[in-house]
Amino acid sequence: MIRVVIRVLLPAHLRALARINGEVKLEIEGEVTQRSILDSLEARYPMLRGTIRDHVTQQRRPFVRFFACELDLSHESPDAPLPEAVVTAAEPFLIVGAVAGGASQPSADSNSTLS
Task: Output the pTM of the full model.
Answer: 0.82
Which residue segment(s) compose the domain that 19 sits in? 3-99
Which H or E run contains 15? helix 12-18
**Cα–Cα nearest to 65, from 23, 109, 14:** 14
Contacts of 50 (CB under 8 A, 6+ apart): none
pLDDT digits 0-9 by tens, 73-98? 999 999 999 999 999 999 999 999 87
The 3 state secondary structure assigned to 48-102 is HCCCCECCCCCCECCCEEEEECCEECCCCCCCCECCHHHHCCCCCEEEEECCCCC
Average predicted confidence (pLDDT) for the chain:
88
The count of domains in the chain is: 1
Model confidence at 112, in pLDDT bands (50, 70, 90)?
Answer: very low
CATH number at residue 67: 3.10.20.30
DSSP class per residue in 24-50: EEEEEESS-BHHHHHHHHHHH-GGGTT
Asked whether residue 113 is assigned to any structural domain, the reply reads no
Asked whether residue 24 is assigned to any structural domain, the reply reads yes
Q: What is the CA radius of gyration of the chain?
A: 19
Tell the burial category of 55 from Cβ atoms under 10 Å away from its Cβ (0-12, 13-18, 19+). exposed
pLDDT digits 0-9 by tens, 26-41? 999 999 999 999 999 9
